């Protein structure tokens, strides 16, 4: 699956959505004008209109001035409602999950089913080379369903229903979550939020009609004096409700037109992530044989039906379904399916230990990731799940070292104070004895109570970490870092930046660490402006590419000139020369990376591929090169899919 092509297709689908929205809005304007004209025409007893009858009398009421006024009113109302809905949903996936009744799952959760979901999300995050998204559970939903929400991967969340957590085996749940991860990487989430916002504007007219219908009935019932002035309101309200119903049909058609093909793509991507077709195929079979199916009873679910794994409501006609039929999805994954769904007794409570069926290790790529995470610890800790170790640990951690993350260090980063202390310790550990006192003074002045002591306690273990384990440690800390309050995050960010500047210079690792944390945490707490595509052709970014590729070429153990030339040849850039190491600065490198972030989606994978070729020029990707490429990909808002992973 070419995730970058799908991201570009998602951008084109946004334009397609806009065209369909304009057509639907035009239809609503015409219908509203027709309704208002009919309202005038039938107002015979209230002297609203006195004139001819029949079709000619109806047409005689038409007025271009009234048409423009009504059209402007409808367009303004729809636009205003869509904007308000966009602002509500654009705050991140958390707002969507909480509006559905979701509850965030913490690492400290004692529920074994929730722990298993957390482990799966972490495994797939490592497999996708992206930060761990927050996990939510919909505790009141018996149906088997899930969704991913957010504007971009930095503020994404994954949510599963309680039914999915209880009813599915580990392999099946892994397939469902992998399906949602593909929506994150394919760029479907932003399209889904835009779709929900625009369609809310279209269906709002029906809400107005319902309000007028109730107000009219209320006015008639109150007094005879008010009845003459309000008796026409139910007629107008009923008409608007009918228009709103037609708008809902148009909204359903738009959702079906855009969403259904994406579900097939996401199913295929889930197979690519897990290297197994049976997991997601069996999950679909379980839904077919499960009485509640994939139904979701949240009041907001129909509005957001297009972001779910399965249908949230029964439909009399599949023409407006946002998802393909189950049997068609299953047959694309399992060509030998006999047509029988999986019947499984419903699990209603999750108080005991997991059964053998629910603790089996995942398969393929994500299973190796889980095994590697387990083997990276000196002992098995409760926070790491029950996945057994394998000899292929370095595959998941993307490095060739055999050093281990201490258990105490891994445990510390599962809560916010320990996670922030670990990040600060990573910077402090790079200071020599002369610089250390100045660094500690920064912590004394700006650190929160108890943070200095915790940093000092973690410092020996952090110093013992090899470069290949620094970013995996931060990946493990990311969920805890997202649990801070906004004032706590601002304080942490200020302290980290002061710590980096305390020695008067910023080295490459410090830049990578700060950019990685800023990029993935800022959207959780602050309103940030995403980069906008500006550069469609590689020639437009020659200068920043030269800076970035030169810095990367100097980090490896091989011939830097050869590595630089290899990347330039892959990008078909001629007459570009390597910048000498002494002329490479972190400041220029940073400016170059942020310029590359403004490239068009299909240009970014070419750049990342060229960087990967340069990093692997000497036959091995060292941890520093890997950290550099991952940080650049993060700033470019371009998660590394499996085919571009650095091994």
Catalytic site residues?
180
Task: Return the residue matching tokens 């199916």.
Answer: 293
Q: What phi, psi does 564 have (nearest 5°)?
A: -65, -45
> Residue 293's Cα: distance from chain center in Å?
25
Torsion sign (Cα): 414, 420, 423, 424? negative
Q: What phi, psi does 457 have (nearest 5°)?
A: -70, -30
Ordered strands of the 157-161 beta sheet? 103-104, 134-138, 157-161, 146-149
Calpha distance 125→372 (Å, rounded): 13
Q: What phi, psi does 138 have (nearest 5°)?
A: -95, 95
Give every CB contact of residue 58 below 8 A, 6+ residues apart in sequence: 37, 38, 41
Label residues 137-169 b or e (16+ Cβ within 10 Å = b): bbeebbbbbbbbbbbbbbbbbbbbbbbbbbbbb
Q: What phi, psi does 602 have (nearest 5°)?
A: -75, -15
Q: Residue 382: which of 143, 642, 112 has the closest Cα? A: 112
> Residue 442's Cα: distance from chain center in Å?
35
Calpha distance 486→586 (Å, rounded): 29
Tokens for 389, please give them: 């170790």
Label residues 322-337 b or e (16+ Cβ within 10 Å = b): bbbebeebbebbbeee
Give every CB contact of residue 564 below 8 A, 6+ residues apart in sequence: 549, 550, 553, 576, 578, 614
Instruction: Give me the DSSP letters along 98-159.
Output: HHTT-EEPPTT---HHHHHHHHHHHHHHHHTTSPPPEEEEETT--S--EEEE-SSGGG-EEE
The three-class DSSP label of residue 272 is helix
Task: Return the residue matching tokens 């107008």.
Answer: 236
The three-class DSSP label of residue 161 is strand
The three-class DSSP label of residue 159 is strand
Helix 232-274 / helix 278-289 crossing angle, nearest 10 deg? 140
Tokens for 543, please give them: 């200068």
Q: What phi, psi does 377 have (nearest 5°)?
A: -100, 150
DSSP 377: B
Task: Return the residue matching tokens 């679909």.
Answer: 284
Q: Which residues, listed in sequence order, are joined to residue 159 by a DSSP beta bridge?
A: 136, 147
Q: Residue 139: which of 159, 168, 115, 122 has the closest Cα? A: 159
Q: Residue 346: which of 281, 282, 293 has the closest Cα? A: 293
DSSP 309: S
For the chain, counts of helices (H) and of strands (E):
26, 4
- Is 369 in contact with 126 (CB distance < 8 Å)? yes
Residue 502 backbone zone (phi > 0: left; psi -120 to 50: alpha; other: beta): alpha
- Is 94 in contact with 134 (CB distance < 8 Å)? yes
């Amino acid at each position: 699956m070419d995730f970058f092509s799908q991201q570009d297709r998602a951008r084109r689908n946004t334009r397609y959505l806009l065209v369909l929205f304009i057509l639907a809005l035009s239809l609503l304007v015409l219908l509203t004008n027709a309704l208002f004209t009919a309202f005038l025409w039938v107002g015979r007893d209230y002297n609203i209109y006195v004139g001819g009858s029949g079709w000619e009398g109806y047409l005689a009421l038409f007025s271009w001035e009234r048409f423009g006024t009504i059209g402007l009113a409808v367009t303004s109302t729809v636009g205003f409602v869509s904007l308000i809905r966009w602002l509500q949903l654009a705050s991140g996936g958390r707002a969507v999950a909480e509006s559905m009744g979701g509850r965030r799952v913490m690492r400290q959760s004692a529920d074994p089913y929730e722990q298993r979901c957390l482990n799966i999300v972490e495994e797939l995050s490592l497999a996708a080379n992206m930060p761990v998204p927050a996990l939510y559970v919909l505790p009141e939903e018996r149906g088997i369903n899930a969704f991913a929400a957010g504007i971009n991967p930095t503020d994404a969340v994954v949510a599963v229903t309680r039914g999915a957590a209880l009813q599915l085996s580990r392999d099946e749940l892994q397939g469902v979550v992998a399906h949602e991860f593909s929506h994150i990487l394919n760029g479907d989430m932003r399209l889904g939020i835009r779709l929900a916002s625009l369609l809310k504007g279209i269906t709002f007219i029906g809400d107005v009609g319902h309000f007028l219908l109730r107000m009219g009935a209320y006015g008639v019932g109150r007094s005879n004096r008010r009845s003459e002035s309000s008796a026409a309101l139910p007629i107008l309200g009923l008409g608007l409700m009918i228009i709103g119903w037609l708008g809902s049909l148009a909204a359903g058609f738009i959702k079906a037109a855009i969403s259904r093909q994406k579900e097939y793509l996401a199913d295929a991507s889930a197979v690519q992530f897990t290297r197994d077709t049976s997991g997601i195929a069996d999950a679909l079979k379980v839904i077919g044989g499960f009485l509640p199916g994939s139904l979701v009873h949240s009041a907001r679910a129909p509005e957001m039906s297009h972001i779910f794994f399965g249908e949230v409501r029964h439909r009399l006609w599949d023409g407006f379904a946002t998802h393909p039929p189950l049997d068609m999805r299953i047959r694309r994954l399992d060509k030998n399916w006999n047509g029988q769904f999986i019947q499984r007794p419903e699990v209603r409570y999750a108080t005991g230990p997991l059964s053998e069926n629910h603790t089996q290790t995942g398969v393929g790529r994500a299973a190796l990731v889980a095994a590697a995470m387990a083997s990276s610890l000196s002992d098995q800790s409760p926070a790491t799940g029950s996945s057994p170790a394998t000899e292929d640990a370095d595959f998941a951690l993307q490095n060739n070292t055999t050093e281990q993350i201490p258990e105490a260090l891994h445990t510390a980063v599962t809560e916010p104070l320990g996670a922030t202390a670990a990040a600060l310790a990573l910077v402090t550990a790079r200071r020599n004895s002369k610089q250390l006192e100045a660094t500690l003074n920064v912590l004394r002045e700006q650190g929160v109570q108890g943070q200095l002591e915790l940093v000092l306690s973690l410092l020996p273990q952090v110093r013992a970490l090899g470069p290949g384990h620094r970013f995996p440690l931060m990946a493990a800390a990311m969920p805890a870092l997202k649990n801070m309050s906004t004032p706590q995050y601002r304080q942490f960010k200020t302290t980290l930046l002061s710590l980096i500047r305390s020695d008067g210079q910023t080295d490459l690792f410090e830049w990578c660490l700060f950019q990685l944390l800023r990029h993935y945490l800022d959207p959780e707490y602050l309103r940030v402006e995403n980069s906008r595509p500006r550069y469609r052709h590689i020639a437009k970014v020659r200068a920043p590419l030269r800076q970035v590729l030169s810095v990367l070429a100097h980090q490896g153990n091989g011939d830097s000139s050869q590595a630089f030339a290899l990347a330039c040849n892959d990008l078909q850039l001629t007459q570009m020369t390597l910048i000498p190491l002494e002329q490479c600065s972190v400041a220029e490198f940073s400016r170059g990376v942020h310029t590359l972030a403004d490239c068009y989606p299909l240009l970014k994978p070419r750049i990342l591929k060229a960087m990967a070729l340069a990093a692997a020029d000497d036959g091995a990707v060292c941890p520093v090169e890997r950290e550099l490429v991952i940080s650049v990909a993060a700033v470019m808002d371009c998660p590394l899919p499996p085919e571009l992973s650095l091994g």
